[in-house]
Amino acid sequence: MKAIALVPGTKDVKLIDWPEPKIEGATDVKARVLQVGICGTDREEASGGRADAPKGEKELIIGHEMLAEVVEVGAQVKSLKPKDLVVIMVRRGCEECDPCKRGHPDMCKTGLYTERGIKERHGYHSEYVVDEEKYCIKVPKELRNIAVLTEPTTVVEKAIDYACRLQVARLPVDPDPKKWLEGRLVLVAGLGPIGLLAAMVLRLRGARVLGLDIVDSHSARPKLLEAMGGKYVLGKDEAIQNARKTFGQIDMVIEAAGIPRLDFELIDVLGLSGVYVLTGVPGDDRPLNIDGGKIMRQLVLRNQIIFGSVNAGFEHFKQAVVDLEAAEAKWKGVVEKFITARIPYQKFDEVLFKKAPEEIKAVIKWHD
């Protein structure tokens, strides 16, 4: 079968012939890959950045945001059958630390976890894949066009859930974290796929959403945000400086821009007792002048929390599927427009090495 592989640390990315994986264990599931999304992580890997081949091997098959159709299942598989749609999780635990032993490799404490398509485990850019049932999330057939967005949605599910859990743990409010967002004002910084998916989840939970970006207000991202009931804020310096005055108490900031200067500026717009989640991974290591004393003073005097969030566990994958389904029911056809390019795998280099200005999410097609 065909697969897209790279030699980690180089820009050597190729379509290769690779042995088709087989069902080996009774709990294995074999699936035909339909689509695999491309994100900043894949592009970083393809430009010689962070990626590790499996131990003892030279190449890594890339790809981690996938959707596939089951073709065969092992004798003990109960929840899946041929023709079911599945999304397979990315991270596998180290089995040494407590979070991994308890099924939460997304919170691994040793850093010895592996990740399909990223770290020491082959990914999903191939015609077929095999994995264990416990890493497969069944997806309703109606979501065939958008379920490739499940993995990026899990990232925002975890970030938002943990932010809400922190808030209900410390504020005198209803203890249900899903209710904490009702009527609250949230600023989402950066309207790429993560920012738009965050806006989607936040709107489903009843939050009022401000989406900050620097694109023209008539372009696709602001329009998609508005279609879900969010409000676009053009990210000029004055808009950020005046945000507290213009919009009032901002209860949560979801950062999905990965721009350090902006990320620090946004600390200032966060309201009293607010929570700020960072999800962007900056590629920019240039030094930055910040007023550390002012930021520390503010965090203390305004009772604020800032934390980072990456990856996601099984329940956030489940929740992502539930929310994609709810979003499709509520704003029919809107989420599908987050996918701005669907490219056959033979032409992967058209989207892996470059990003079109109008791109929100590019997807590689392996099978129809």
Binding site for Zn ion (CB under 5 A): 39, 41, 65, 94, 97, 100, 108, 110
Contacts of residue 287, Cβ cutoff 8 Å, sequence gap at least 6? none
Nearer to Zn ion (CB atom), residue 295 or residue 343? 343
Cβ of residue 64: shortest distance to Zn ion, in angstroms?
A: 6
> How many angstroms separate the CA atoms of 250 and 151, rounded?
27
> How many angstroms separate the CA atoms of 47 and 104, rounded?
30
Nearer to Zn ion (CB atom), residue 35 or residue 304? 35
* Distance set, CA 331 to CA 58, 185, 202, 227, 296 (Å): 45, 21, 14, 7, 41
Cβ of residue 95: shortest distance to Zn ion, in angstroms?
A: 7
Residue 276 has phi, psi (to 5 degrees) of -130, 120
Cβ of residue 73: shortest distance to Zn ion, in angstroms?
A: 27
> How many angstroms separate the CA atoms of 252 and 208, rounded?
10
Nearer to Zn ion (CB atom), residue 41 or residue 304? 41
Cβ of residue 151: shortest distance to Zn ion, in angstroms?
A: 6
Nearer to Zn ion (CB atom), residue 39 or residue 149? 39
> How many angstroms separate the CA atoms of 195 and 13, rounded?
29
Cβ of residue 325: shortest distance to Zn ion, in angstroms?
A: 21
The bridge status of strand 85-88 relative to strand 65-73 is: antiparallel
Q: What angle, rounded to 10 degrees, do the helices at 220-227 and 193-204 form?
A: 10
> How many angstroms separate the CA atoms of 78 and 133, rounded?
8
> How many angstroms separate the CA atoms of 310 and 162, rounded?
11
Nearer to Zn ion (CB atom), residue 115 or residue 131? 115
Cβ of residue 58: shortest distance to Zn ion, in angstroms?
A: 23
Nearer to Zn ion (CB atom), residue 61 or residue 210? 61
Closest CA relative to residue 344, chosen from 311, 324, 368, 308: 368
Nearer to Zn ion (CB atom), residue 3 or residue 194? 194
Contacts of residue 253, Cβ cutoff 8 Å, sequence gap at least 6? 186, 187, 188, 189, 266, 269, 270, 274, 275, 276, 277
Cβ of residue 316: shortest distance to Zn ion, in angstroms?
A: 14
Cβ of residue 38: shortest distance to Zn ion, in angstroms?
A: 8
Closest CA relative to residue 167, chosen from 155, 154, 156, 179: 179
Nearer to Zn ion (CB atom), residue 11 or residue 109? 109
